[in-house]
Amino acid sequence: MATTTKPLLSDLVAGMCRVPPNYIRPTSDRPNLHEVESLDGAIPLIDLQGLNGPNRFNIVKEIGLACKSYGFFQVKNHGVSEAVIDNMLRVSREFFHLPESERLKNYCDDPMKTTRLSTSFNVNTENVASWRDYLRLHCHPLEDYMQEWPLNPPSFREDVAEYCKNARGIALRLLEAISESLGLGKEYIDRALGKHGQHMAINYYPPCPQPDLTFGLPGHTDPNVITILLQDEIPGLQVLKDGKWVAVNPIPYTFIVNIGDQIQVLSNDHYKSVLHRAVVNCEQERISIPTFYCPSPDAMIGPAPQLIDVDHPPNYKTFAYSEYYQKFWDRGLTTQTCLDAFKDSRP
Ligand code: OGA
Ligand code: NI
């Protein structure tokens, strides 16, 4: 009997009433959805309105505190218009609703390719699949990558480029604030990132018949500097807080920001890159759009010298970001972060 293999999950799931075996997690590694807390307000919501005014000192302090105790925060009054956000979500939904043959024009399994549609996390290395399709785009500098992006839906390039410029604006403002909150100059992190990089994923999580058996994305930390996440109105993101998974329910027109591994390194562990995951549900598809702000591949990353002294030796070696990034994709998503491989082991 000829079996038709569908590369994308979206095309595989129609009418399916059981999760295929390769998506089922071992019993010790399942979402345990009934144990998850859903505390609104568990993750701080920071108002960025006055960030460039007389109240800057207090807002920077608030950001620093959130980075230290949560590794996650939400932001409002961030300056990105509702129209830009609506267009980004709309065009993403339209993309994933295109006919299979149209979407597959962008399909590629190689994690180093700068524009590609794929599924799960890394189909070349993983043992268990995740309940997700995703379109991944490099987006800084825009003019280097835009011509690789999908041409369908027709407004895709324009809507996404507009969103990318806005997301970059927030990332840069937050990096200045984070730099200041660490007692480094406002420009320190900016300069540490070399020519800078910006990637984006458009995550598409189809409804799942047995959401207790699988993950949209299993627990992981992000390998980049900071992540600015836009999610639609369907819950799914969970963050590890004091050993418990906490749901971060969507607040329309806000962004969720999290510290990535490179801030943990630059800050010499003052700020921690926190584990998070995405779960799925049986009713509704979900779209989430993380912007991964990152160093350029050649940037050398290590703990800031100002944060090192006799009592605080460097906890990490200095490495090229490309080395870290490669490791992240090779190793697959596990709750043990890649950071362990870059520890400074001098006595
Ligand atoms: C990610 C991620 C969370 C989500 O793509 O790295 O953590 O809610 N996504 O989709
Ligand atoms: Ni993530």
The tens digit of pLDDT for each residue in 47-90 reads 999 999 999 999 999 999 999 999 999 999 999 999 999 999 99
With bands split at pLDDT 50, 70 and 90, how would you rate the model's confidence at 336? low
More confident residue, 60 or 342: 60
pLDDT score recorded for residue 125: 85
With bands split at pLDDT 50, 70 and 90, how would you rate the model's confidence at 340? confident
Ligand 1 and 217: CB distance under 6 A? yes
Instruction: Pick the atom of ligand 1 nearest to 203's CA.
Output: 10
- Could you tell which of 288, 293, 325, 338 is best to mutate to test the pocket of ligand 1, judged by most ligand atoms within 8 Å of the CB? 288
Residue nearest to atom 10 of ligand 1 (CA): 288
Does residue 2 have a pLDDT over 50? no
Q: What is the overall mean pLDDT for the chain?
A: 93
- Could you tell which of 130, 202, 237, 292 is best to mutate to test the pocket of ligand 1, judged by most ligand atoms within 8 Å of the CB? 237
Instruction: Pick the atom of ligand 1 nearest to 231's CA.
Output: 8
pLDDT score recorded for residue 345: 74
DSSP at 341: G
The tens digit of pLDDT for each residue in 292-313 reads 999 999 999 999 999 999 999 9
Which amino acid, 192? A
The tens digit of pLDDT for each residue in 139-197 reads 999 999 999 999 999 999 999 999 999 999 999 999 999 999 999 999 999 999 999 99
- Could you tell which of 203, 228, 279 is best to mutate to test the pocket of ligand 1, judged by most ligand atoms within 8 Å of the CB? 203
Ligand 1 and 222: CB distance under 6 A? yes
| Ligand 1 centroid distance, CA of 237 (Å) | 7
Which of 59, 310, 54, 55 has the alpha carbon at shortest distance from 180? 59
CB-based contact 253:85 (threshold 8 Å): yes
Kindly list the structural domains of the chain, giving each domain's residue range(s) and its CATH number in brackets, ordered by start. 31-342 (2.60.120.330)
pLDDT score recorded for residue 36: 85
Cα distance between residue 323 and residue 302, in whole Å:
13
Q: Which helix (H) or strand (E) holds 329?
A: helix 321-331
Encode 51-80: b = buried (16+ Cβ within 10 Å), e = exposed.
beeeeeeebbebbbebbeebbbbbbeebeb
pLDDT score recorded for residue 61: 98
Which of 246, 235, 293, 230 has the alpha carbon at shortest distance from 90? 230
pLDDT score recorded for residue 347: 58
Does residue 1 have a pLDDT over 50? no
Does residue 3 have a pLDDT over 60? no
